[in-house]
Chain A
Amino acid sequence: MTETARPVPGHFYLWSGLGLLVAVALYVFWQAPQPNRTVLVVGGYLLSVLFYFGAVRYPHWYWQALVRWYHQLGSPRHFYRISGVLLPYLVALSGGLLLVGLIWGLAFSPPHHEQGNSYRIIYLHVPAASGAMMGYMAMGICGLVSLVWRMKMAEVAIKAIAPFGATLAAVALITGAIWGRPTWGTYWIWDARLTSMLILFFMYLGVMGLQNAIADPRQAGRAASLLSLVGIINVVIVRYSVDWWHSLHQGSSMSIFGAGGSQIHPSMLAPLLISMFGTYFLFAVAVLIRTRTEVLWRERRSRWVKEVLR
């Protein structure tokens, strides 16, 4: 599997230089809000370079690595080993980022020009909400993988994601309610975002309930896979339908990030982004802990578990 190092060909520089130019031009002329633009353009460029090296230049190595990675992830034994190596780093990373982000947001970032200090709830609220949303998306993708390729690890992952996702959704709802009190004058509004987060919370509960109701783990896993896949379509439709519904009845103008995009001052954006990434890593930590437990339990009769526990 060792590929002899080939010299980087000249036309690579040509194409990547052109790509860089296009990226810069996009960045300059694009009308999107600034932080989104930066992330998208830089991320897109890096991804395209990765894709070039992987899929175009060294396709053989790329596919081999992908297939091997997929198989290792799909095999409980390898997953247990790799996740055990990864876990301490993830714990350190998430703990560090959350500590820095939350303390920075609470004590060091400036207050909001209209809301004063109450806006500081954003540093917990937005990471929790986006984590809950991304968690459901991940669950839906795992559902697809488990239904199409019958991959055991994907079923286990769904079971592991649901509890933490539900907790994040609950945290987003509670902190949002507390934030709403000083800002809007009420704990609860049937705003599009709040309503869809509430539905998301219910859908997490549904997946957990279905998991618990079916005794056979394989069957429970596949049932939850189908439900989370159907749920993903629902989450998208609910998001739009509630928006529409409000354009019929009352304003969804209270939402924080409207269609016009958000403009957050860098002194507030930095801690927000840091605590967001901290939350994502914490999500990974929680999912890995639960997945490892479940894997050990499901594979308890196999030899490798006995060796691990010894």
Chain B
Amino acid sequence: MYFESWSALWQMGTHGPYVWSAFGIGVALIAANVAWALWHSRTVRADLKRQLQRQAMQEKP
């Protein structure tokens, strides 16, 4: 590691707030986007499954 200690890594000279806030916001945004896509995929699947089951129920009797 380039830094001597964890606190040095955290502070990065005087630039810690900039670097960590940039990485925090950026990674959070990207992760939120992927999570949103996954959540949407899950809800769509659940909806379609329910529809299918309802159709199957209607067809059986």
Does B bind A? yes
- Flag if B18 contacts A182 (CB, 8 Å): yes
- Flag if A309 contacts B34 (CB, 8 Å): no
Taken together as a complex, chains A and B put the C-alpha atoms of A168 and B38 apart, in Å, by: 17
- Flag if A124 contacts B22 (CB, 8 Å): yes
Taken together as a complex, chains A and B put the C-alpha atoms of A164 and B33 apart, in Å, by: 7
What sequence of 0s and 1s flags, for each residue 17-50 of chain B, a beta carbon within 8 Å of any chain A beta carbon? 0110111011101100110111011001100110
> What A residues does B25 contact at CB under 8 A?
171, 174-175, 178
- Flag if A118 contacts B30 (CB, 8 Å): no
- Flag if B18 contacts A292 (CB, 8 Å): no
Taken together as a complex, chains A and B put the C-alpha atoms of A290 and B34 apart, in Å, by: 9
| A117 interface residue (CB < 8 Å to B) | yes
Looking at the complex, which one of A111, A124, A293, A310 makes contact with B23 (CB distance below 8 Å)? A124
Looking at the complex, which one of A121, A179, A309 makes contact with B48 (CB distance below 8 Å)? A309
- Flag if B23 contacts A102 (CB, 8 Å): yes
Judged by DSSP, the binding face of A is helix
**Residue in A closest to B20 when the chains form the complex, CB atoms:** A106
- Flag if B23 contacts A121 (CB, 8 Å): yes
| A109 interface residue (CB < 8 Å to B) | yes
Looking at the complex, which one of B21, B27, B41, B51 makes contact with A293 (CB distance below 8 Å)? B41
Contact sample, A vs B, 28 pairs, CB 8 Å cutoff: A111-B13, A116-B14, A118-B12, A120-B12, A120-B15, A121-B18, A121-B22, A124-B27, A125-B22, A128-B30, A163-B33, A163-B37, A164-B34, A170-B29, A171-B25, A171-B29, A174-B25, A174-B26, A175-B22, A175-B26, A178-B25, A179-B18, A182-B14, A182-B15, A282-B34, A293-B37, A293-B41, A309-B48
Contact residues of A with B, CB < 8 Å? 102, 106-111, 116-118, 120-121, 124-125, 128, 163-164, 167-168, 170-171, 174-175, 178-179, 181-182, 282, 285-286, 289-290, 292-293, 296-297, 300, 305-306, 309-310
